Amino acid sequence: MSAAPVPRHIAVVMDGNGRWAQKRFLPRVAGHKQGVEAVRTLIRAGSERGVDVLTVFAFSSENWQRPADEVSFLMDLFLRALREEVQKLHSNGVRFRVVGDVSVLGAETRSLIEEAEALTAANSRLCLNVAVNYGGRWDIEQAVAKATAAGESAAFAQWLSFAGQPDPDLFIRTGGERRVSNFMLWQLAYTELFFSDILWPDFDEAELASALAWFAGRERRFGKTGEQVRVLSTTPV
């Protein structure tokens, strides 16, 4: 029997940190801190299972509308992660990239992003994309603007933030919501969408295994019929 297919690229909306904390009568920021542990678990487990690319939605372009103290905490948490986590990622062969409009971030944060991306650029075990101040509509708009300025408007997709990477095979959203929330709108066109009621801080290796098992049972047709896909899957290469 052939091994179960593993998604080459997994994209994750990490929803439920605040509700996780509120259920425990803790401030919302406690949920964000605990959520970092779930990210560490996801990176390790994904890498061990052979995932090539992992993209996590850390802060959307709409998240600036949240309470100022929560936004400030999230920015500080991201800065702390840049200081403390990047060397560990590098030691484990992880390439680190930040995707989004980083121009509004602080000078120290931008500098640490550049250093982290340069340090890990040659790593190939796993590519970790962290989406910060990112929105799917923004991504398309900025790509069109850059392509138009370059006189290549017909080929604008090469200017998207994820150009050169495979589109996600599997999208995971925790927290019980059933929407993509302006995340990777162009890239999710043929992605399998997995929604979980688990709050993000409780997302562990077992939950990832459940998502991968669900993915393995999907028939990915990309416009073809099921019969065509099955014939192609049994045709020697």
β-pairing, 94-99 vs 53-60, is unpaired
CA-based torsion, 53, 54, 59, 60: positive or negative: positive
The span from the CA of 55 to the CA of 131, in Å, is: 7
Exposure string of 129-155, with b = 16+ CB inside 10 Å and e = fewer, is: bbbbbbbbebbbebbeeebeeeeeeee
Q: Which of 15, 52, 139, 169 is catalytic?
A: 15
The span from the CA of 202 to the CA of 226, in Å, is: 36
Q: Where in 51-208 does DSSP place strands (E)?
A: 53-60, 94-99, 126-134, 170-173, 192-195
- Other beta carbons within 10 angstroms of residue 14's beta carbon come to 22
Contact 212/7 with Cβ under 8 angstroms? Answer: yes
Q: Which of 52, 63, 101, 133 is catalytic?
A: 63
Give residues with Cβ within 8 angstroms of 203, minimum separation 6: 14, 38, 41, 42, 174, 196
123 noted as active-site residue: no
If you count them, how many residues does the chain have?
A: 237
Distance of CA 198 to the CA centre of its chain: 17
63 noted as active-site residue: yes
Catalytic sites, residue numbers:
15, 63
